[in-house]
Amino acid sequence: MGSKWFETVAIAQERAHRRLPPSVYGAVLGGAEKGLTVRDNVTSFDELQLAPHVAGQAAQHDLVSSVMGQSLSMPVVLSPTGVQAVHPAGEVAVARAAASRGVAMGLSSFASKPVEEVVSCAAPVFFQVYWSGGREAVLARLERAAKAGASGLIATLDWSFSHGRDWGSPWIPESLTWRNMARLAPQALSHPAWLYPFLRARRLPELLTPNMVGVGESAPTFFGAYGEWMQTPPPSWSDVAWLREQWDGPFMVKGVTRVDDARRVRDLGATALSVSNHGGNNLDSTPATIRVLPAVAEAVGDQIEVLLDGGVRRGSDVVKAVALGARAVMIGRAYLWGLAVNGQAGVENVLDVLRAGIQATMRGLGRESLAELSREDVVAPPDFFRALGT
């Protein structure tokens, strides 16, 4: 397996921290304002304990799940993340890893690789869209994704983003001009392990978003696309219903934390919803997603698929989420750290780590299949769970 292999996501993060220039690592780490939510997403899993059995465990464990009509080898989906400048192969490497490990991936409309190229890698791809530029612009992106063969659509509604971070926001250039490259040079040259793959590929990190425009049109920069989003009025529930009507296929709304919002998403005919706070990059001080998951899952029952996104670092985290009502989890930073360390193989390594952890946890709990998991398998402290918007 070589020296690039890692046995936990924490080790992948530590190696990515050493490998990446500070601006790049800071962009991946993210978090808004004081970072309360990004920390709670992770540490809240530590507060949940497991209730194992000591005999009668199954020798084999069925981890197969399905999300939006796609069969998964385990209940994990790679969450859409923007411009993946941690490795030159970016989203293509992620898609290939997803295909090799039998999971689906979300492709951000802010991705650095075209949807056509990513879909060609044979993994199920859920195209993610922001409400940006108005109905005509959004519809053009949907039509391109559908023509490319995307398996589903993810509408992300929870992004508000705060520029104020207590530890300072990383400097990310609008474009790689000679002046900006000179400013970045000390960081890049002091991190040759990150720089070398880009030099070998004879390309610089891409800060463009080709999926925000039609095929053949000039792609805006990340901040150009972000500026369009900022200038677009937030969508109404009528807009969300319209969006659902435009997509002839599985449809997910990402960013739900309130029970009343979950019911509205269910009622507009969505296939799935993701309990998400944008990985802590949204409104700081919102609860960890695992805290609000049970209330959301209970409110909508089996009428819509419920996923959890936020803070998943171990296979046991996946099992806890499924036991508390999630059909599957979505991971973001975890696979980006793997991508940074070792490209496609690094993402596969992260997925293998999660699979092994899921299997070990299922064995300890004495559960043969995901369907057998329940709240009885999880011990929570008093007042751990939250029910927002009831």
Q: 329 forms bridges with which residues in the sheet?
A: 76, 308
Q: Considering 17, 61, 163, 278, which one is annotated as catalytic? A: 278
- Residue 268 backbone phi and psi in degrees, to 5: -85, 0
- CB–CB of 345/24 below 8 Å? no
Burial class (CB in 10 A: 0-12, 13-18, 19+), 223: middle
**Cα separation of 103 and 145, whole Å?**
19
**Cα separation of 271 and 91, whole Å?**
25
How far is CA 265 from each of CA 127, 157, 276, 308, rounded to the nearest angstrom?
18, 11, 14, 15
The verdict on whether 17 is a catalytic residue reads: no
Q: How far apart are the first and last CA of the chain?
A: 50
Residues annotated as part of the active site: 278
